[in-house]
Amino acid sequence: MTADSGHTMSADAVDHPPELPRALAETLRYGPFHRALHDAIAHRGLSLARLRTHLEQRGVQVGQSTLSYWQRGLRHPEVPRALETVRALETVLRLPADSLVALVGIRPQTRMARRFPEPSWVTTPDDFETTPGNADVEVLSAHDAVQVGPHCERRTVTTRLVVRAVRAGPDRFVAVHLGDEGSAVENALVRSGEGCRQGRLRRLPRTLVFELLFDRRLDEGEEHVFSFTVVDDTGGPTPGHVRAFVTGCRSYLLQLSFHRRALPARCTKQFRTEPNTEPMNVEDLVCGIGGVVSAYFTDIGPGAAGIGLEWT
């Protein structure tokens, strides 16, 4: 592996790509795109910051976050707009011409679950809009712990959030819970935990919208930790659990705990950027000792992250 020295590469080094390791050559041939890009960056020993600098030196502007999403499979280059950038990546990474371009139009060939969990893409009721809302805080970290019962039903969801006030004044957080198909949300309960108490609650079809009230108004830059649990065990076999992020989140940990008599046939880590679309990336997960499966996401852009389940 050749480390990046920070100096501009010579034209000869760019125009005449060296022989590639067999594993990287195979990935470039068969894909998927995000894995080929990740392996190529690792082989060159470039940080994303240095890779972005090399691209800029060739007149190509692309965000470091975009490169990160591409190599992790969270987003896919849009054709034809991104072709110039992909070709520049081939040059900087010393790859054969069109090796990445050939993979751009190919989505990851992974087996999709029969049903995908639905994120809470729900509009806040009008009367909730009169409050400062969640725009005054940024979510730094989120942790959802979901219990799945003996009939494959999602029983409880316990959430712990770490938020930071972006300006002085926020004293609450509006949360949304979307029940599974068949869920009777009129019977669902919200239990506040540390750092908050329950405020107003609105029941909509399959949906709960509720406030978590803090014990004080936060100062600008102040961080606050709070938790709550939703008890909603009236739905059918759950397709999984998803959390939607309107702006983004630095870290998200999702854990599903299964009853010993109801273990899923398959668990998949998923991310999507738009509602009513298939996930852009699906990765198989292992249900470990004790019947717990976990998915960890970092630097999530706007979108929805979660775990999908197959039962048969």
The model's pLDDT over 165-183, given as tens digits with 9 standing for 90+, comes to 999 999 999 998 988 888 8
Note down the domain range covering 172: 126-310
Amino acid at 160: R
Q: Which residues of the chain have pLDDT under 50?
A: 1-17, 106-116, 120-132
Task: Indicate whether 17 belongs to any domain.
Answer: yes
Note whether 172 and 291 are same-domain residues. Answer: yes
Residue 113 lies in a domain: no
Residues 130 and 268 in one domain: yes
What is the total count of domains within the chain? 2
| Residue 115 domain-assigned (yes or no) | no
Q: Is the peptide bond before 21 cis (omega within 30 degrees of 0)?
A: no
Instruction: Supply the pLDDT for residue 108.
Output: 40
Looking at residue 109, its pLDDT comes to 37
**Based on the domain organization, do 70 and 130 belong to the same domain?**
no
Q: Model confidence over 124-164: pLDDT tens digits?
A: 444 444 344 588 999 999 999 999 999 999 999 999 999 99
Asked if residue 5 belongs to a domain, the reply is no
Cα distances (Å, whole numbers) of residue 18 to 14, 88, 169: 9, 17, 58
**Residue 95 falls within a domain, yes or no?**
yes
Give pLDDT, residue 133.
55
Same domain, 83 and 131: no
Q: Are residues 80 and 213 in the same domain?
A: no
Q: Are 180 and 92 members of one domain?
A: no
- pLDDT score of 173: 93
* Separation of first and last alpha carbons in the chain: 44
Q: What's the pLDDT score for residue 240?
A: 92
292 shares a domain with 150: yes
Asked if residue 112 is part of any domain, the answer here is no
Q: What is the CATH number of the domain that holds 193?
A: 2.60.40
Q: Are residues 90 and 166 in the same domain?
A: no
Same domain, 57 and 196: no
CA–CA separation, 167 and 52 (whole Å):
32
For residue 21, the model assigns a pLDDT of 87
298 assigned to some structural domain? yes
Residues 197, 289, single domain; the answer is yes
Tokens of 109: 């060939």
Q: Are residues 190 and 158 in the same domain?
A: yes
- Tell me: do 171 and 282 sit in the same domain: yes
CB 198, CB 117: distance < 8 Å? no
Residues near 294 by beta carbon (within 8 Å), at least 6 away in sequence: 253, 254, 255, 256, 285, 288
Assign residue 96 the CATH number of its domain.
1.10.260
Whether 110 is covered by a domain: the verdict is no
